[in-house]
Amino acid sequence: MSVTVLNTLDAKEQFTDLVNRVVYEEGRVILTRGGKEIAAIVPLSDLLLLKESQDRYDLADAIDALAEAREGGMLTLDQLKEDMGM
């Protein structure tokens, strides 16, 4: 899988070719502005994999939070507000 690095002005001129490269060759394009990497064009499969990874991470955090709440007890919203002086 190839990675192409282009500044945004060049990418604008080559946009259709870049999209085709990403779709059909599963390449990746890193966009730069002022010499700094700012964005990427990636295959949809890469984005879906990233989303799945984030969903799993979020689920693990939720499970940990639930376990912590069960172990340490829970507060009602009113109790929390009172503890915060609200």
User: β-strand 28-33 against 3-7: which pairing, if any?
Assistant: parallel
Which pLDDT band holds residue 1 (cuts at 50, 70, 90)?
confident
In tens, the pLDDT along 11-54 reads 999 999 999 999 999 899 999 999 999 999 999 999 999 888 88
Q: Which residues, 6+ apart, have CB-to-CB distance to 46 below 8 Å?
A: 28
3-41 has which CATH code?
3.40.1620.10
pTM to 2 decimals? 0.63
**Domain positions in the chain:** 3-41
Return d(Cα 80, Cα 49) in angstroms, integer. Answer: 37
Percent composition of the chain: helix, strand, coil (DSSP 3-state, to 5): 60, 20, 20
Is the predicted pLDDT of residue 73 greater than 90, yes or no?
A: no
Whether the per-residue pLDDT at 55 is higher than 90: the answer is no
